Structure 1
Amino acid sequence: MDWNRVEGNWKQVKGKIKEQWGKLTDDDLEKIAGKRDQLEGKLQERYGLQKDRAKSDIDDWYGRQKW
């Protein structure tokens, strides 16, 4: 997975992230700033997910994106 694509286009990707995970706030998204580990942590915090589940959810989301 080439997460650099997400980091490099974070301003455009934030909207897609928010569509998928609506509990994330704008402040959360600013702090995440495209960093995958930060996104995983916020998903665990906001949704009560286990680390492995957060990782797999991100992988699934990433795989569905039309780059």
Structure 2
Amino acid sequence: MNEDITAGKWKQLIGKAKAAWGELTDDDLTRAEGRAERLTGIIQERYGKTREEAQQEVRRFFDANRD
């Protein structure tokens, strides 16, 4: 799995990410820049999840939304 999404693709996926993680703000998603590691940290912070839980969610999200 490629865990870094290109900027153009990430802009398209922001709406899906908002649906998946409703508590994330536009600023959070902009900060993530389509990078799995950053998104994992933001989800971990916002939702109080363990690192492993957040990584699994992000991995599933990227796997479900790759071309």
Q: TM-score over 0.5 for the alignment? A: yes
Task: Please give the root-mean-square deviation of Cα atoms over the aligned residues, in Å.
Answer: 1.5
CA deviation string 1:12-66 (max 9, x = no partner): 0111111100110001111111111110010001100100110111122223336
Matched pairs, number: 66
Q: Which residue of 1 aligns with 2:6?
A: 7
* Identity of matched residues, %: 36
TM-score by length of 1: 0.84
- Any unmatched runs of 5+ in structure 2? none
- Any unmatched runs of 5+ in structure 1? none
TM-score by length of 2: 0.84
If asked which structure has higher relative contact order (CA below 8 Å, sep 6+), I would say 2
Give the Cα–Cα distance (whole angstroms) in 1 for the partners of residues 26 and 11 of structure 2: 11
